[in-house]
Amino acid sequence: MTHSTQEWNDVPGAVLSARDIRVTLSGKLILDGVDLDVAPGEFVGLIGANGAGKTTLLRSLLGVLKPTSGTVERPRRDARTGGVGYLPQKVALDVDAPLRARDVVALGLDGGRPGIPLHRRATRKRVDETLDAVNALSFAEQRIGEMSGGQQQRVLLAHALISDPALLLLDEPLANLDPASAYDIVTLLDRLRRTHRVAIVITAHDMNLLLPVMDRIVYLAGGRAVTGSPEAVVRSDVLTRLYGRPIRVIRAEGRVMVIADDAGIPDEVHHELPAEVAGASGSSGLSGSSGGGL
């Protein structure tokens, strides 16, 4: 993958603009010139094998990790928006920490403010509505540390959502969820980006749930990002190449299924690796935007 980033420089109205992000960690080049623009309301899936640099990219976009070079323009927090909402991949929580789900979500609203909070009824209502939106109201009074991984994930998502962010960076938010909860969260995110024009960048290994809602897929390999429409990226040949292992995409009755499959990859896939994947940026399916207004 020699030259592989997309070229929509200076996109007007983009809520996030990252240019030529390079990150070196402990002498190892992790990201080697990544560009990314995201429009308001756009739903972007970030995929790549373990260690491809997805978490590193999200942390650079958030600003907690200073890239070795490159620039990121991200939404600022102000009176109208909560800036960037972030859900990290793993959060270590102390079992006995005296904090209920409600307290954690309220911190998402005003955790940066000085002074001791005196929450008025309007604030408490907003906290409860946000917990309800992620189906977490039933354990609102529980200690955050005593919840299951999936319950914690929903509460932390509520924490990230409550401030009305313009951009959500979600690092494997579906990883611990049962299928029904995962479906509910994806539906909620899809609704938010339509009603509130929240831009979403989400990483996930299981793409099946995201396929119906994603506008665009960015995939990371070899430190580079390639972007394309879900139709262009979610193909047996492309994914097999990306993950370096057989992956099968099955389309039937308007539905798409992605399965890791050592057994049944047809031979022709191996012969037919498409030119786009090898990295030509201007070639057919893999460059340019597919929706989201860019």
Partner 1 sequence: MFEDFMVNAWEAGTIVAIIAGVVGFFVVLRGNSFLAHAVPHGAFAGAAGAVLIGVDPLIGLGVFAAGGALTISVLGRRARSDVITALSLAMMLGLGSFFLSRSSEYSAEVFSLLFGQILGVSSVQIVPMIVLGAVCLAAVGLLYRPLLIASVLPEMAPSRGVNPQIITVVFGFILACATTMSVPIVGALLMFALLVGPPAAARFVTRRPVTAIPLSVLLALVTIWASIALAYVSDWPVGFFVTAISALIYVAGRGVSALRRRVPASRNTARVEAEAVAA
Ligand X SMILES: Nc1ncnc2c1ncn2[C@@H]1O[C@H](COP(=O)(O)OP(=O)(O)O)[C@@H](O)[C@H]1O
Give the binding site for partner 1 (CB under 8 A).
62-64, 77, 83-88, 91, 93-94, 96-100, 103-104, 107-108, 110-117, 141-144, 156, 159-160, 163, 165
Beta partners for residue 71, in sequence order = 19
Is the C-alpha dihedral spanning 253, 256, 259, 263 positive or negative?
positive
**160, interface contact from Mg ion, ligand X, partner 1, none, CB < 5-8 Å by kind:** partner 1
- Residue 157 and residue 46: Cα distance in Å, rounded? 18
- Residue 201 and residue 187: Cα distance in Å, rounded? 15
Report the nearest approach of partner 1 to the CB of residue 31 (Å). Answer: 19
Report the nearest approach of Mg ion to the CB of residue 240 (Å). Answer: 21
Beta partners for residue 171, in sequence order = 203
Q: How many CB atoms lie within 10 A of CB 62?
A: 18
**52, interface contact from partner 1, Mg ion, ligand X, none, CB < 5-8 Å by kind:** ligand X
Residues numbered 211 to 230 that lie near ligand X (CB under 6 A) are: none
Q: Which CB, 139 or 219, lies closer to ligand X? A: 219
- Tell me if 162 contacts ligand X by CB under 6 A: no
- Residue 104 and residue 40: Cα distance in Å, rounded? 27
Token output for 220: 């990371």
Q: Which CB, 85 or 228, lies closer to partner 1? A: 85
Given candidates 45, 48, 82, 223, which one binds ligand X under the rule CB under 6 A? 48
- Residue 151 and residue 100: Cα distance in Å, rounded? 12
Cβ-proximal residues to 238 (8 Å cutoff; 6+ apart), any chain: 232, 274, 276, 277
- Tell me if 50 contacts ligand X by CB under 6 A: yes
Contact letters for ligand X, residues 14-43 (x by CB under 6 A): -----------xx-x-x-------------
The residue type found at 161 is L
Which stretch of DSSP H or E encloses residue 233? helix 230-233
**112, interface contact from ligand X, Mg ion, partner 1, none, CB < 5-8 Å by kind:** partner 1
CA dihedral 165, 85, 108, 177 (to 10 degrees): 120
Token output for 150: 């999936």
**56, interface contact from partner 1, ligand X, Mg ion, none, CB < 5-8 Å by kind:** ligand X
Q: Which CB, 9 or 26, lies closer to partner 1? A: 26
Cβ atoms 216, 292 nearer than 8 A: yes
Residues numbered 27 to 86 that lie near Mg ion (CB under 5 A) are: 54-55
Report the nearest approach of partner 1 to the CB of residue 94 (Å). Answer: 7
**48, interface contact from Mg ion, ligand X, partner 1, none, CB < 5-8 Å by kind:** ligand X
Which residues bind to Mg ion, rule: CB under 5 A? 54-55, 89
Which residues bind to ligand X, rule: CB under 6 A? 25-26, 28, 30, 48, 50-56
